[in-house]
Structure 1
Amino acid sequence: MNRRIATVAFLTICFLFSPMTAQPQQSAAYQPDAGPGGHEISAAPILVLVQNVSALDAEEQKVTAFLSTQGFSYDVTDASGLSSFNADDYSLIIFRTGSTPASYNNATVLSEIQDAVEIAGATLMVELHGSYLAEYLGWGTVSSVGWGPVVAASCAFVAPITTHVIFDGIATWDPPIPPDQNDQIIWENPNINGGSGVRIDAIANEVAIESWHVQMTPGWTGQPTNSTYCQSWGGCTNERSVHNAWDQTQNTKYVVKGNGKLFFSAPIGFGGAFATDAAVVIGKAGTTLKRNTVQWLSQVLTPPDPPSNLTASAVSPTKVQLSWTDNSNSESRFVIEKQWTSTTWIRIDTVLANTTSCVVVNLQPDTEHSFRVFAANWKFESDPTNVASVTTPTFPAPSDLAVDSVAVTSIVMHWRDNSVNEDRFVIEQSEDGIQWAQVATTGKDTTRKRVEGLVPQKKYHFRVYAVEGTVPSGSSNVLTATTLTFPPPLNLQATGHSSEEVALQWQDQTDFEEGFMIEYREENGAWLLADTVPANSSAYILGGLQPSTTYEVRMRAFTSQATSPYSNTAQATTLLFLQNPANLSGVLMSETNIVLTWDDNSDGESGFEVEHQEDNGSWITLTTTAANVTTYAAQGLTPRTMNRFRVRAVGNQAASGYSNTVAIETRMAPAKPQNLLATAVDHKTVRVTWQRGSENEEGYKVEKKAEGGSWALFTTAGPGDGDILDENLPSATLYWYRARAVNDLGESAWSNE
Structure 2
Amino acid sequence: MKITALSLVLILLAGTLVAPIGFSEAQSSDLIAPNPPTNLTATPVSNNQINLSWAAPVNSTLDQVNGYKIEISSHCSGSFGVLVENTTTTSTTYSNTGLVKGICYAYKVSAINPVYIGNPSNTAYATTWTAPNSPTSLTANAISSSQINLSWITPTNTGGTPVIGYMIQKRDSCTGSFSTLVANTSNTSTTYSNTGLVNGTCYQYRVFAHNAVGTSMASNNATGTTLQNPTPSPSSTSAPGGLSVVAKSNTALKLTWSAPSTSGVSIIGYQIQRNGTTIVNNTSNTQTSFTNSGLLPAHQQTYRVAAWNSAGLGPYSGNATGMTTNLIGIIPTDTNNLGQQVSSFVQYYKVIFKQQREDTIKALKACNEKISNATPENRAKVKADCKIVLKTIKEKYKDIRKQFKDDFKVFRDTAKSLIKVAKEDKTIDKDDAKGLKKVLKKFEKESKKITKEFKTEIKEIKKEIKHEEKQHKKELKELEKEKKNKHDDDDNDDDD
Q: Under a length normalisation based on structure 2, what TM-score does the superposition of the two structures give?
A: 0.26
Higher strand share: 1
Higher helix share: 2
Relative contact order higher in (CA < 8 Å, ≥ 6 apart): 2
